Structure 1
Amino acid sequence: MAGLAEQAQRFRRVQALLAAQMARQILQVWRELMNPAKVDASWPAVRSALMPIVQQAREQSATLARAAYMDARRSAGVPDGGFDPHGPLQLAIDRLEASLDVTGPVEFKKAIAAGKTPQQAMDAAAVRMVGSTQYLALEGGRSVMKQSIAADEMATGWSRVTDNDPCAWCAMLASRGPVYKSAQTAGDPRQDGNRYHDHCACQAWPAFTMNEPFIGIAEKLYDDWLRETRGRGGRHAVNAFRSWWESDGRAAYRAPDRT
């Protein structure tokens, strides 16, 4: 079981490295091609250069996820019955264009209207754009995992794998530990473990038994969730956990992410 947990952490780190490499490419194009004095005129060329970077990273994320899924299957001792990983979800061109438009020139103009300098506006847009494009790229691998787990009769569920410094939302979702297909989730605010956000480092990892280990910090998070939300439910539980995480909890988990 420990080996499976280590595999899951390696997979998350590889996906994070892919996202970081793509971010460097995105920033290079943005800084070299975008003219803050001529936003509307320079943007079409910038967008054309950015789109294939995101599309390629998304394909790489999906390829990594397909290979990792089959490795997890083999490591769990699941017989090879000819199963092929599913996905990824196709990325619509208009969705990619809209995301780039909103986080690029639109964000730049909003920052200028708010009194930012052109350089500050460039930086603000860069942060938004990196977060959005990383989300779209990593969605390739995440959708492979989600669809494959759902379609694979041998898969029992999944775990959400975080780094050592997740936000309150991701820490809450990871606190469920292994999530099984047959689990009763009614009334549990942590039930949708497949939700992600911009700048999110989390990944899903498949489970193939009903006795899966907690991965990384998830087991301690589970104990923390039970303690901090005792006697509360629904939104009140979420708020209590978030308040604790942001005031005291998060600092206790921050540690160098081992490679």
Structure 2
Amino acid sequence: MRAETIRLTTEYWQTQARLGSGLAARSLSAWSRVSPRSLAATGGVWLASTLALVRQERARSREVAAAFYRLQRAVETGHTVPPLHGGYDAHTVRLGDLRAEWASLAGTAAEHQEDDGRPIALDPFDWPEADDEAHDLAARTSLTVTGPVRAGQALDRLTADLDNRLDAPAFLADLDQAMGDAGTVAAGAADREALRGGRDLVAAASRTDRRVLGWARVTDDDPCSWCAMLASRGAVYKSRKSAALKDADNLPVDPEDVEKFHAMCHCQTVPVYSRTLLISEAATQYREEWKTVTKGLRGAEAMRAWRRHHDAKRRTSG
């Protein structure tokens, strides 16, 4: 991975993280107006408004992912793909224009570079269509279960035991806690559903792109043990032929695992175009730590040892 690509991938997850976190904050703010006294009505209002925000930010996430994809591909291969929307008659695009497009969406400064005028060839490419209907259904289900349904279940538990509780203030405190917990979990679901737009675009485009050899996990600043482990593996390749060229000590990972994301996870997967992948400094450190921590261990035992090590490290650094 070139230095520019490493910097670009950092900017990419940071941009997507801001998008998801911003939506989560708006979801949580709207949840403050959900009342346990009229959960169906107020929860329904929250659900409708949050779904609208998810649709909006999911589209933004997709736009950000496409700009990243075009620039990363250009830097790594000297070739790129047409814009996500609209026709494009030219056969080349300037590298500086791709950088400007990315800077505009990422909110970063577009600094002039010596090779901005370099022509980048445009390969024929059809962007995958977004399955908005399926995405909307997934978002509605996730938000409903984590928000109103979770709050309703907590309310049922608390009121069922109300006759045996003599301290009303304690009941109200527990009710506030339950409502707050539901709102927080639902905000995490909104974050994940919004980022689905960009993640799905990169995954689907990479599968049909003949220049992509595989994928790698890029973590945020504070990854969980699972995400850090996935990042430490470097690339997961499309074909066995490419995979055979990996470092011998780079343990294999199920490709499906690389594309799994939990709530409030701001990790991303990025395409890999070279068999001589250089993973980020953080991922390199995770790989070295994994070797030390799991020496002599395999399978679940290795993962438990890694989780204990990584969680302890997070607590210390936090």
User: Structure 2-normalised TM-score?
Assistant: 0.73
After superposition, residues 101-112 of structure 1 pair within 5 angstroms as 101-112=144-155
Task: Work out whether residues 212 and 271 of structure 2, in 8 Å CA contact, stay in contact via their aligned partners in 1.
Answer: yes
Aligned residue for 1:123? Answer: 180
C-alpha distance in 2 between matches for 1:35 and 1:88? 35
Aligned residue for 1:145? Answer: 202
C-alpha distance in 2 between matches for 1:46 and 1:236? 43
C-alpha distance in 2 between matches for 1:77 and 1:190? 25
C-alpha distance in 1 between matches for 2:150 and 2:216? 35
Cα RMSD (Å): 2.3
Aligned residue for 1:4? Answer: 5
Aligned residue for 1:75? Answer: 75
Q: Match of 1:214, as an amino acid? A: I
Task: Work out whether residues 50 and 190 of structure 2, in 8 Å CA contact, stay in contact via their aligned partners in 1.
Answer: no
After superposition, residues 225-244 of structure 1 pair within 5 angstroms as 225-244=290-309
C-alpha distance in 1 between matches for 2:276 and 2:54? 37
C-alpha distance in 2 between matches for 1:78 and 1:13? 25
Aligned residue for 1:90? Answer: 132
Structure 1, unpaired ranges of 5+? none
After superposition, residues 12-23 of structure 1 pair within 5 angstroms as 12-23=13-24
Identity %: 31
Q: Match of 2:314, as an amino acid? A: R
Give the CA deviation at 1:122. 2.1
Q: Match of 2:296, as an amino acid? A: G
Task: Work out whether residues 28 and 184 of structure 2, in 8 Å CA contact, stay in contact via their aligned partners in 1.
Answer: no
Aligned residue for 1:47? Answer: 47
Aligned residue for 2:66? Answer: 66
C-alpha distance in 2 between matches for 1:174 and 1:89? 28
Determine whether 1:194 maps to 2:259. Answer: yes
C-alpha distance in 2 between matches for 1:75 and 1:87? 25
Give the CA deviation at 1:229. 1.7
Q: Match of 2:6, as an amino acid? A: A
Task: Select the structure of larger CA radius of gyration.
Answer: 2
How many residue pairs are counted as aligned between the two chains? 251
Task: Work out whether residues 131 and 198 of structure 1, in 8 Å CA contact, stay in contact via their aligned partners in 2.
Answer: yes
Give the CA deviation at 1:211. 1.4
Give the CA deviation at 1:168. 0.8
Change in Cα spacing, 1:11 to 1:216, as seen in structure 2 (3 Å) is farther
Aligned residue for 1:174? Answer: 231
Q: Match of 1:206, as an amino acid? A: P
Q: Match of 1:90, as an amino acid? A: D
Q: Match of 1:226, as an amino acid? A: K
C-alpha distance in 1 between matches for 2:143 and 2:70? 33
Q: Which of 140, 143, 150 matches 1:100?
A: 143
Aligned residue for 2:314? Answer: 250
C-alpha distance in 1 between matches for 2:279 and 2:297? 24
Aligned residue for 2:193? Answer: 136
User: Structure 1-normalised TM-score?
Assistant: 0.88
Task: Work out whether residues 89 and 140 of structure 1, in 8 Å CA contact, stay in contact via their aligned partners in 2.
Answer: no
Q: Match of 2:125, as an amino acid? A: F
SS, match of residue 205 in structure 1: strand
Q: Match of 1:108, as an amino acid? A: A
SS, match of residue 206 in structure 1: strand
